[in-house]
């Protein structure tokens, strides 16, 4: 597979969907950097497909945090979450209304990824069947049970043209998935969800202590490493703030 294959995805936008300060990064890297703080980025990705329209990948932490000057503390993870701007305002800045978004695909059901799913009540929620079922057991109940869904079991070429491919990567949660995007000029980009949180965790294959299944997490990382090598893909690690900061954000885009 070449890097410059033509693609029906003509725009990939990176949208700041929140950030967090955590007091102890070893929650994500057991035994390593104990007590050392770290900042997290949290992006949403708006994808334009020339025939199918807009697909949103992940929705970030809830827009409600944007009005809290001190942010919102989460005791379980030692994080304080902030939002500079709402997702809805960022989309409006691009001239995109929530009703223009046909599909909302999510990596997994944790609150910093599904915080705004219900801002898109008419969009089809694309999610692994296992994650949909897992999400309904979570205390925050991130989804309206009536939400229209496309429930996937395993890998899926979304539009049958190779431009957007969901890869099943369980481990962080029971039905975690990642998205491989093909762009004509940029080449392949793999959007990580929480397959891995930081670049050095990827380099050292570190698995957070709270992952649902450690062996599955490692197997999913191996699976993605093979895809990256095969497609010469870039791995965009969602929560890795230094690499996120280096990426072009809206209104610029990748094509
Ligand atoms: Zn997560």
pLDDT tens digits, one per residue of 113-167: 999 999 999 999 999 999 999 999 998 888 999 999 999 999 999 999 999 999 9
What's the gap in Å between 110 CA and the centre of ligand 1?
Answer: 5
Q: HEC profile for the chain?
A: CCCCCCCCEEEEEEEEEEEEEECCHHHCCCCCCCCCCEEEEEEEEEEEECCCEEEEECCCCCHHHHHCCCCEEECCCCEEEECCCCHHHHHHHCCCCHHHEEEEECCCCCHHHHCCHHHCCCCEEEEEHHHHHHHCCCCCCCCCCCCCEEEECCCEECCCCCCEEEEECCCCCCCCEEEEEEECCCEEEEECCCCCCCHHHHHCCCCCCCCCCHHHHHHHHHHHHHHHHHHCCEEECCCEHHHHHCCCCCCCCEC
What's the gap in Å between 38 CA and the centre of ligand 1?
Answer: 16
What's the gap in Å between 5 CA and the centre of ligand 1?
Answer: 32
What's the gap in Å between 84 CA and the centre of ligand 1?
Answer: 21
Q: How would residue 6 be classed by pLDDT, with cut points 50, 70 and 90?
A: confident
Give the pair of three-digit tokens for residue 12: 């990939």
What's the gap in Å between 180 CA and the centre of ligand 1?
Answer: 18
What's the gap in Å between 8 CA and the centre of ligand 1?
Answer: 29
pLDDT tens digits, one per residue of 53-100: 999 999 999 999 999 999 999 999 999 999 999 999 999 999 999 999
What's the gap in Å between 170 CA and the centre of ligand 1?
Answer: 11
What's the gap in Å between 50 CA and the centre of ligand 1?
Answer: 30
What's the gap in Å between 6 CA and the centre of ligand 1?
Answer: 32
What's the gap in Å between 142 CA and the centre of ligand 1?
Answer: 13
What's the gap in Å between 226 CA and the centre of ligand 1?
Answer: 22
What's the gap in Å between 64 CA and the centre of ligand 1?
Answer: 19
Residue 106 near residue 59, CB atoms below 8 Å: yes
What's the gap in Å between 200 CA and the centre of ligand 1?
Answer: 17
Whether the pLDDT of residue 110 is over 60: the answer is yes
* pTM assigned to the model: 0.96
**Alpha-carbon distance 84 to 69, whole Å?**
10
What is the share, in percent, of the chain residues with pLDDT greater than 70?
Answer: 98
Query: What is the pLDDT at residue 98?
Result: 97
What's the gap in Å between 195 CA and the centre of ligand 1?
Answer: 8
What's the gap in Å between 209 CA and the centre of ligand 1?
Answer: 12
pLDDT tens digits, one per residue of 236-250: 999 999 999 999 999
């Amino acid at each position: 597979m070449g890097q410059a294959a033509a693609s029906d995805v003509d725009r990939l936008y990176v949208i700041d969907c929140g950030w967090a300060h955590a007091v102890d990064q070893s929650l994500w890297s057991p035994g390593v950097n104990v007590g050392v703080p770290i900042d997290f980025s949290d992006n949403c990705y708006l994808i334009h497909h020339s025939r199918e329209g807009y697909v949103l990948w992940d929705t970030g932490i809830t827009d409600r945090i944007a009005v809290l000057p001190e942010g919102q503390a989460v005791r379980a993870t030692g994080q304080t979450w902030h939002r500079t701007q709402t997702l809805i305002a960022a989309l409006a800045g691009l001239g995109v209304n929530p009703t223009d978004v046909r599909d909302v695909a999510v990596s997994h059901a944790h609150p910093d990824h599904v915080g705004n799913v219900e801002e898109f009540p008419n969009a089809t929620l694309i999610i692994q069947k296992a994650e949909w079922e897992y999400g309904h057991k979570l205390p925050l109940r991130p989804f309206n049970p009536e939400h229209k869904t496309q429930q996937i079991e395993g890998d899926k070429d979304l539009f049958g043209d190779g431009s957007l491919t969901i890869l099943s990567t369980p481990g962080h949660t029971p039905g975690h998935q990642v998205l491989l995007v093909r762009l004509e000029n940029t080449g392949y980009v793999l959007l990580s969800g929480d397959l891995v949180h930081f670049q050095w965790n990827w380099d050292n294959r570190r698995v957070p202590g709270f992952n649902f299944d450690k062996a599955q997490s490692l197997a999913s990382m191996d699976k993605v490493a093979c895809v990256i090598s095969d497609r010469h893909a870039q791995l965009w690690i969602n929560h890795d703030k230094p690499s996120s900061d280096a990426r072009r954000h809206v209104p610029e885009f990748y094509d």
